[in-house]
């Protein structure tokens, strides 16, 4: 379903990219750098067709289209940030609070009444943040997951993403896409000693604590709500993206109840469906590799990783993490 970094499944004809660990472009045999299964997938009788691969140009074009379709994003007047200290490389790890004020001066909380925001926020209290503790999922929480997926699929942005993936033979129907989103994001797996204690959604959007450090936690809404409660303390930022509107990108240093996050990159001011859709696209197109995108004419990359120790649905992988990369 997705293109594994060491396989040519779904990648036949993909253009050469020096960041890839092995290659599937037409010249890889002459250059002796093909993936081991290149012949099996990309030969005359191969399992994968070049029509199913997603090119670099298609990623750039589609990400700009999704950016334009983020109708629920914050307007410039909806958020007032106070970034304060810009941390150098030698400062991000020293756990010093160099910003006495909160990161968010103001957020227009009317945003949170929009259906995708409201259903997203209901999910955030469904998780135990400590890894190694089994997650107990109630019937109500399952309904909340389903409601969130239904709300994001009601948006023009997610429908655009589905139509693109359907055209790449990744999904045959919207129902199949919904079911797979549910598994890849909400399916439970173990980051600890066998307990089903984590999921892609919990890690990326809600955040976890593992070995005394914050793990994941890449969502601006979650950050704002916890900062407002006084349990997140903003320390500094090491990157501020070039956007003069939302979504923007920040690289953050902060503590969460005393647990530290050295660099927690996040989109700021985007809708839940934008972040959810963009990470899904990159996980399906470039798992384990940099996914090069364009937003408002500015290039950026998203990194995703599949969870390699467990699968679902005949070998499909759960999302381990996804985040926007800040230089």
Catalytic residue numbers read 203, 218, 261
Are residues 313 and 183 in contact, defined by beta-carbon separation less than 8 angstroms? Answer: yes
Nearest to 148 by CA among 206, 190, 66, 217: 206
For 208, how many CA atoms within 13 A lie in the half-sphere containing its CB? 24
Q: Residue 268's closest CA among 254, 251, 285? A: 251
Count of positions (residues) in the chain? 327
Helix (H, G, I), strand (E, B) or coil at 94: coil
Nearest to 254 by CA among 212, 223, 296, 219: 223
What the block records as the tokens of 306 is: 């599949």
Q: How many CB atoms lie within 10 A of CB 104?
A: 18
Decide: 14 and 42 in contact? Cβ < 8 Å. Answer: no
Q: Which residues pair with 210 in a beta bridge?
A: 213
- Quote the tokens at residue 313: 């649905």
Say how many C-beta atoms besides its own lie within 10 A of residue 122's C-beta: 16
Q: Which two tokens stand for residue 245?
A: 């509107």
Q: Is-contact 99 236, C-beta < 8 A? A: yes
């Amino acid at each position: 379903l997705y293109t594994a970094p060491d396989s040519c499944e779904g990648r036949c004809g993909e253009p050469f990219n020096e960041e890839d660990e092995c290659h599937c472009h037409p010249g890889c045999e002459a250059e002796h750098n093909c993936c081991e299964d290149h012949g099996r997938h990309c030969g005359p009788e191969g399992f994968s067709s070049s029509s199913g691969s997603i090119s670099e140009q298609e990623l750039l074009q589609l990400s700009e289209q999704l950016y334009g379709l983020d109708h629920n994003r914050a307007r410039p007047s909806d958020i007032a940030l106070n970034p304060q200290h810009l941390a150098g490389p030698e400062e991000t790890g020293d756990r010093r609070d160099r910003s006495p004020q909160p990161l968010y001066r103001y957020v227009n909380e009317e945003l949170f009444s929009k259906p995708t925001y409201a259903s997203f926020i209901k999910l955030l209290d469904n998780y135990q943040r400590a890894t190694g503790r089994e997650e107990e999922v109630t019937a109500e929480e399952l309904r909340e997951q389903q409601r969130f997926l239904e709300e994001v699929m009601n948006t023009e942005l997610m429908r655009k993403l589905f139509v693109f993936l359907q055209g790449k033979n990744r999904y045959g129907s919207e129902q199949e896409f919904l079911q797979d989103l549910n598994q890849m994001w909400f399916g439970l797996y173990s980051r600890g000693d066998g307990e089903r204690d984590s999921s892609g959604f919990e890690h990326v959007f809600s955040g976890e604590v593992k070995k005394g450090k914050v793990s994941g936690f890449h969502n601006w809404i979650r950050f704002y709500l916890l900062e407002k409660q006084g349990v997140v303390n903003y320390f500094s930022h090491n990157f501020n993206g070039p956007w003069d509107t939302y979504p923007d990108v920040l690289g953050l240093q902060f503590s969460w109840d005393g647990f530290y996050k050295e660099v927690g990159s996040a989109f700021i001011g985007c809708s839940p469906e934008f972040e959810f859709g963009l990470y899904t696209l990159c996980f399906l197109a470039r798992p384990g590799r940099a996914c090069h995108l364009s937003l408002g004419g500015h290039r950026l990359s998203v990194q995703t990783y599949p969870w390699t120790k467990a699968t679902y649905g005949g070998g499909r992988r759960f999302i381990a993490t996804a985040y926007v990369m800040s230089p």
